[in-house]
Amino acid sequence: MPYILSAGGVATRRHADHPHNRSARDHQEPPRGGRAVSTGVGADAARRAAGRRRRVHVPGQHRAHDHEDAPAAVPPDIVDSGSSGEVMVREGENVSIHCAASGVPPPTIMWRREDAGVMRIGDQNVSKWSGVWLNLTAVERAMSGALLCIASNGVPPSVSKRIPLRVLCKPSAVVSQKMIGGYLGQTVLLKCQIEAYPTPNVYWTHININRIQNGSKYQTLIKSNSYKHTAVLKIDDVSRDDIGAYQCVAENVLGTARDDITLYTLATTTTSTTVVTTTRPATVVTEPASTQPYTEVDTSSEEYVKDVSNDYVVVLSQHQMQNLELSPSL
């Protein structure tokens, strides 16, 4: 029980819980030469009074307790430990892929292919799909590539995870040009298109060669993009021994495929030019040394007979010759 000092310095004991005593004690000043002993009742009264005060809200000001019960917004994040990594599936089989994400509010998950192609889910082909699970049906080799799992909850930024999808498929080999010609001494390229995953072992064969090896005569090349491959056989300095059938062979753990192509030589044609020279005979024109003037004469006249006898040259016309033949002989 608390003690209170009187004016004479005598300590008296009172019941602390009596309201009258608490009120008087709360307003009591310490006497001279004495020391006041705090009982803590005044502090309790002050707290009770503060609890009875009314809160006044001023427009335009945020209340301190408005967001006390609402959780803070958190942008989405992909949970790698709960999401699928690289996925491998045999061609024609089904596969389920999972994507987990955290955030406040809880994010939604949207799936799509990185190349914007379609996905087969059940009996429908779709370009997008929502949900934490992506259940693909009868996966084809054309689905090979990457899938994107995109998480968003309205709090930027959205996040995504790239999940590679590998479709295991046995090889196929196709030669589009079944016959190819080349000139002797030149270089020829034989091409073969292949589809397979995992990446196949590719080689070429000839009539009498089980497997062509790289060297100065032959060189094999291959270019790959996902499950598609282009195989090339380069033949330098083509000779007659190189003609015939070749085979392109592709092998992986799932099977073997092959296709053939025939090489033939092209004939070289020679063009000759013949030049013919002709000589035209020269035309020689001989002109008379002199030209004698002539006149028509009357053959019946005495001067004509006289002239003939005197060895003059007379030129007669055709009409005159006819008249001469009809006239009586002299």
Residue 31 has pLDDT above 90, yes or no: no
Average pLDDT over every residue of 74-102: 97
Residue 142 DSSP label = G
Q: What is the pLDDT of residue 68?
A: 57
Q: Mean pLDDT score of the chain, rounded to an integer? A: 76
Residue 282 has pLDDT above 90, yes or no: no
Q: How confident is the model at residue 26 (pLDDT cuts 50, 70, 90)?
A: very low
β-bridge partners, 30: none
| 59: CB partners within 8 A, 6+ apart | none
Q: How confident is the model at residue 208 (pLDDT cuts 50, 70, 90)?
A: confident
SS3 of residue 251 by DSSP: strand
β-bridge partners, 235: 188, 218
Q: What is the pLDDT of residues 220-277, one digit of tens each?
A: 999 999 999 999 999 999 999 999 999 999 999 999 999 999 999 987 665 555 555 5
Distance CA 100, CA 286 (A): 120
Q: How confident is the model at residue 302 (pLDDT cuts 50, 70, 90)?
A: very low
Residue 62 has pLDDT above 90, yes or no: no
Residue 137 has pLDDT above 70, yes or no: yes
Q: What is the pLDDT of residue 293?
A: 45
Whether pTM exceeds 0.75: no
Q: How confident is the model at residue 134 (pLDDT cuts 50, 70, 90)?
A: very high
Q: Is the peptide bond before 19 cis (omega within 30 degrees of 0)?
A: no
Q: How far is CA 38 from CA 21, 29, 49, 202, in A?
A: 13, 11, 19, 98
Task: Provide the residue type at 277 as one letter.
Answer: T
Residue 10 has pLDDT above 50, yes or no: no
Q: What is the pLDDT of residue 267?
A: 76
Of 37, 155, 136, the closest CA to residue 94 belongs to 136
Q: Which domains does the chain have, with CATH numbers?
A: 3-45 (no CATH), 74-168 (2.60.40.10), 175-266 (2.60.40.10), 294-330 (no CATH)
Q: What is the pLDDT of residue 72?
A: 92
Of 165, 200, 194, 168, the closest CA to residue 92 belongs to 168
Q: How far apart are the first and last CA of the chain?
A: 211
| Strands (DSSP E) found in the chain | 3-5, 11-13, 74-78, 87-90, 95-98, 101-104, 108-113, 119-121, 124-126, 128-130, 133-136, 145-152, 159-174, 179-183, 188-197, 201-205, 218-225, 228-235, 244-252, 255-266
